[in-house]
Amino acid sequence: MENQLKHFRETFGFSQGELAKRLGVSRQTINAVETDKYDPSLPLALRMAKLFGVAVPEIFIDSWEPEDVK
């Protein structure tokens, strides 16, 4: 899933390792999310959003739109 994690991380001046420590995951996890190789769990996405003070959809962008169901 396309995401803005790298943008928010750099805006806050964190290295991948620093962000990983704050979120309680490995640096590889942060790298995998940033390079769109891994979609984090909902708890981790919520922690990221809380850390950056934004809503989850501001970090993770999903182009899906609901169709009208008749």
Partner 1 sequence: MSGQMQKKWAKPMVAALLGGIAGYLSIEGYVWFGGGAELAEVNPMRLILSAVGMVYLLMAVFVGLGTLVPRAGAKLLNVADSDDLIDQRAMLLGSSASSGALGAALMLMAASGPGGSVPDGLALASLAFAMIFSTVLTILQWRHYDELMRQVSWESSAFGLGLLFPALIVWAALAHLGWTAALDPLGVIALSASTVLMGTFIAAGRRGMLTQG
What residue ranges bind partner 1 (CB under 8 A)?
Answer: 16-17, 24-29, 31-32, 34-35, 37-38, 40-41, 44
31-61 burial string, b = 16+ CB within 10 Å, else e? bebbeeeeebeeebbebbbebbeeeeeebbe
| Closer CB to partner 1, 11 or 28, in the complex | 28
| Closer CB to partner 1, 32 or 56, in the complex | 32
CB of 42 to partner 1, least distance (A): 11
CB of 15 to partner 1, least distance (A): 9
Distances (CA, A) of 50 to 13, 23, 29, 34, 35: 16, 10, 18, 17, 21
| Closer CB to partner 1, 34 or 58, in the complex | 34
